[in-house]
Structure 1
Amino acid sequence: MAYIDSHVHIYSSKYEEDRSTVIQSAFEQGVTKLYMPNIDIPSIDMMLDAELRYPDICIPMMGLHPCDVTKDFEKDLYIMEDWISKRDFAAIGETGLDLYWDKTFFEQQKVALRIQIQWAKAKGWPIVLHCRESMEEVLQIIREEQDGSLKGIFHCFSGTLEQAKEVVKLGFLLGIGGVATFKNGGLQPILSVIGLEHLVLETDGPYLAPTPHRGKRNTPEFIPLIAQVVADILAKSLDEVASITTKNSLKIFHPTS
């Protein structure tokens, strides 16, 4: 069985001591590709170094995380736009809106998101969306911006069933990670309605480790644990979950080589 981790910060300093071991362990578990969301300017070099060291395994995106939007966000976007003019990336992201942490620059977050949506449209690349405590606000912007060309992933989906249905209607996929394994995560009734064809698997490592590793560092080798929970919820085989979510990831992301 082959799996894909559609969202992992494998370049993070949290993996500094054992990155090669973590990637090898994931590979032994069948996790063959790790899609890396960018978050800010400093993360670009770390991310591209991971791509260089682990070609065809660690695959970069380019975007500005909403929690890293400040009063000078235009300068960061200028640098990122230069990067996407020079080479391919798998997606624009991660971008989006965040109302969980600091709300000081929420208006700037919305401007930054719309700019990055325009990049995605112009390039024909997918966009990976962060929606923490902001699902409805992100959906509203996607509704307004959707012209039939926009596609992507609602990363770490944690909305309602109605919101999940709208995500699908808008042509996007749901990123499903460790929250699906939480007893009170709320995703079980949603997944049973939405179905495999609209899902991709992710860890968001080093964050949001699945049960029974909750509270510890998350790693791509836990993808099969998440897949097994999805298989149990949907009464599908693990092989089917691996196969379909892998196909979904390969289809949604822009090839970089």
Structure 2
Amino acid sequence: MIFTDTHTHLYYEQDTEKQAQLMERCFENNVNRLFLPNVDVASIKMIDDLVKKYPENCFAMAGLHPCDVKDDYEAQLTEIYNSIEGRKIYAIGEIGIDLYWDKTTLSIQQDAFRKQINWAKNLGLPIVIHCREAFDEVFEVLEAEKDDKLRGIFHCFTGSEEQAKQAINLNFYLGIGGVVTYKKAGLDVVLANIPLDKLVLETDSPYLAPVPFRGKPNESSYLIYVAQKLADIYNVSVAEIASITTENSKKIFGV
């Protein structure tokens, strides 16, 4: 049984010993594949260092997080894009639109999002989308960019059934994390009408820890709690959840 965490910031832990312990707990819980989303220029080296330590288990992405799209975003984008050459990158992400923290940057967030979507198309890579309080704005960009090259993951999907189906119709999988274990989230009701073969697992660690660790730092080893909740929703075994979602991740990332 192999679990795949399609979205973890495990590299944020820079204490060597603690980082090794986080990885060891992953392996103890069969979380053997970890995909590392980039957020800014500074995180490139942190990701690369972790990939070098665990080349069979950790896989890098490249992208500028929408919350990091500031006045200097074009220079940041250039530096991130230039970093891709000579590195093995499996997705462009995490990218998208976030209107929770700052609505005034919408226009430059949209521009950065479009530019990075075009990177992905030119490189033949999937994108990993961050969308917070911005479904309409994200879908507007995606509908305009829609073609046979556009594909990827809606990271931390928490939308409605209608939004889930719209994302799937645009050739996206839904990234399901700890929120699915929250009683009032309602995501279990949405997923009841969404096929399992359109889902992947994620933690978004160190954020959004699942029950019973809600409110505490998350880690990739906790992916098993997300898997158990999906097993309950779909009335299948945890092993089947692991198998199907890992196979989905291989289709997306090509590894």
Matched with 1:136 is 136
Matched with 1:91 is 91
**Structure 1 residue 86, shift from structure 2 partner:** 3.1
Cα deviations by residue, 1:169-197 (Å, 9 ceiling, x for unpaired): 11100000000000011111111111210
Matched with 2:249 is 249
> In 2, are the aligned partners of 1:207 and 1:218 still within 8 Å (CA)?
yes
**Structure 1 residue 84, shift from structure 2 partner:** 2.1
Tell me whether 1:2 sits opposite 2:2 in the alignment.
yes
Q: What is the DSSP-based 3-state SS (H/G/I as helix, E as strand, rest coil) of the residue aligned with 2:90?
A: coil
Matched with 2:105 is 105
* Residue 96 to residue 20, structure 1, CA distance change in 2 (3 Å): same
**Structure 1 residue 90, shift from structure 2 partner:** 0.9
> Unmatched 5+ residue regions in structure 2?
none
Matched with 1:78 is 78
TM-score, normalising length: structure 2: 0.97
**Structure 1 residue 87, shift from structure 2 partner:** 2.8
- Tell me whether 161-170 or 6-15 shows the greater mean CA deviation: 6-15
**Structure 1 residue 154, shift from structure 2 partner:** 0.3
Q: 1: CA distance between counterparts of 2:20 and 2:155?
A: 25
Matched with 1:39 is 39
> In 2, are the aligned partners of 1:89 and 1:254 still within 8 Å (CA)?
no
1:193 maps to a residue whose letter is N
Matched with 2:229 is 229
Q: 2: CA distance between counterparts of 1:140 and 1:161?
A: 18
Q: 2: CA distance between counterparts of 1:86 and 1:180?
A: 37
* Residue 233 to residue 15, structure 1, CA distance change in 2 (3 Å): farther
> In 1, are the aligned partners of 2:6 and 2:201 still within 8 Å (CA)?
yes
The Cα RMSD (Å) is 1.2
Cα deviations by residue, 1:90-115 (Å, 9 ceiling, x for unpaired): 10000000011122322100000000
Q: What is the DSSP-based 3-state SS (H/G/I as helix, E as strand, rest coil) of the residue aligned with 2:165?
A: helix
Q: 1: CA distance between counterparts of 2:207 and 2:40?
A: 17
Cα deviations by residue, 1:126-158 (Å, 9 ceiling, x for unpaired): 000000111121111111101111110000001
Q: What is the DSSP-based 3-state SS (H/G/I as helix, E as strand, rest coil) of the residue aligned with 1:183?
A: coil
> In 2, are the aligned partners of 1:206 and 1:217 still within 8 Å (CA)?
yes
Q: 2: CA distance between counterparts of 1:133 and 1:253?
A: 26
Cα deviations by residue, 1:201-222 (Å, 9 ceiling, x for unpaired): 0000000000010000100111
Q: 2: CA distance between counterparts of 1:203 and 1:170?
A: 23
Q: 2: CA distance between counterparts of 1:157 and 1:75?
A: 29
> In 2, are the aligned partners of 1:203 and 1:219 still within 8 Å (CA)?
yes
Q: 1: CA distance between counterparts of 2:86 and 2:254?
A: 15
> In 2, are the aligned partners of 1:98 and 1:134 still within 8 Å (CA)?
yes
> Unmatched 5+ residue regions in structure 1?
none
- Tell me whether 208-217 or 77-86 shows the greater mean CA deviation: 77-86
1:196 maps to a residue whose letter is L
Q: What is the DSSP-based 3-state SS (H/G/I as helix, E as strand, rest coil) of the residue aligned with 1:34?
A: strand
Cα deviations by residue, 1:33-75 (Å, 9 ceiling, x for unpaired): 1100000011111111111111121211000000000011000
Q: 1: CA distance between counterparts of 2:88 and 2:47?
A: 14
| Aligned length in residues | 255
